[in-house]
Amino acid sequence: MQIKQEQIKLNSWKTWKRFTLSNDRGIELSCLDFGGIITEILAPDKHGQKENIVVGYKNYEDYLDNPNFFGALIGRVAGRIEGSSFSLNGETYQLPPNEGENHLHGGPGAFHQTIWQTETFEKENTVGIVFTQQWEDGHNGYPGNLDMKITYTLDNNNQFSITYQGSADKDTVLTTTNHSYFNLSGNLKTGIQKHNVTFDSSQFVELDEALIPTGNKLDVNGTVFDFQEGRNIEDGIHSDNQQNIYAGHGYDHFFTFDKNPGAKVSVVEKNSGRKMIVETDQPGMVMYTSNGLGEGLQLKERESAPYLGVCFETQSSPASIHHEGFPSCFLPAGEDYYSRTVFQFGLVE
């Protein structure tokens, strides 16, 4: 097990830290103190060839803006908040709109655009980084002074875990995630159309044309949203289901897990032989298949294009802010927020 730290000099006045975590079985993960951004994960294929399995920029400067949120920590609220406002305890809170009239992924200067305080640790079978930061009451319109602690840990079982801990001194809303785009083909050799995904979810959240939850939950049975027995992502890309069309011909939907805690998502890419298991204590996830990823961005291995990565954004549902019956984002003052998601890297047996 090993952890390395180095300086990334963007210009004469801006320097970031880059950390590389590596275990004894061929997994290497690189990330930044800026946004907690995961820039690269190297994992062996069935022939032992180590390749990158996440989408990242060729040039570090491009992470400054990062409109696609590649690899970044997301908060205070992951997802879209309708109308950039919400009511809590009789008060209405206005948030900065950053996607049309709506508020996306915490807004500008949120988790994904913050220099985090970092502390590394190295043990016999684990290495990791602890990210900490505070946000003032009223930052981007959210109530409460917020303290966050997020821990990245890599172990010798090829498990990479993210633990999120937080508390605020006022009633507030909070649900966090990581926005890595996975592509198990390795070095973006192909798109993610033939990635086969399996997870237990009998319902997903209906979206309108602006990708805002309508307040309805839809049954997956008989649709391309049924992943209970596994299906290729391309099924939703080629689907004429109105929900897939709204999402830009693919998926950008919140699925509620039937088996929770301990919900599992299995992802298999047959050509490389790679397999990833995502295990979480969260009540659901947004699966986003990079339908809106345009062309022309300089990525590490190639130019960008739609369907180059798939995100598994484990979280509660921001629909709970405006609608009843959804996994809640509400965090009472003084109570501890805790969630954990584990990514297990391996090969198809």
Secondary structure class of 334 (helix, strand, coil): coil
As given in the structure block, the two tokens for residue 29 are 């993960």
Active-site residue 195, yes or no? no
> Could you give the CA distance from residue 181 to residue 195 in angstroms, rounded to a whole number?
13
Q: Which stretch of DSSP H or E encloses residue 5?
A: strand 2-9
DSSP 290-306: -TT--S--BBSSSB--T
Asked whether 202 and 219 are in contact (CB, 8 A), the reply is yes
Active-site residue 253, yes or no? no
Beta bridge partners of 92: 87
Secondary structure class of 320 (helix, strand, coil): helix
Write the CB contacts of 21 (distance below 8 Å, at least 6 apart in sequence).
2, 3, 28, 29, 30, 31, 127, 128, 129, 152, 154
The catalytic position among 112, 179, 195, 253 is 179
The catalytic position among 51, 206, 279, 313 is 313
Burial class (CB in 10 A: 0-12, 13-18, 19+), 309: buried
Burial class (CB in 10 A: 0-12, 13-18, 19+), 92: exposed
Provide the annotated active-site residues: 179, 313
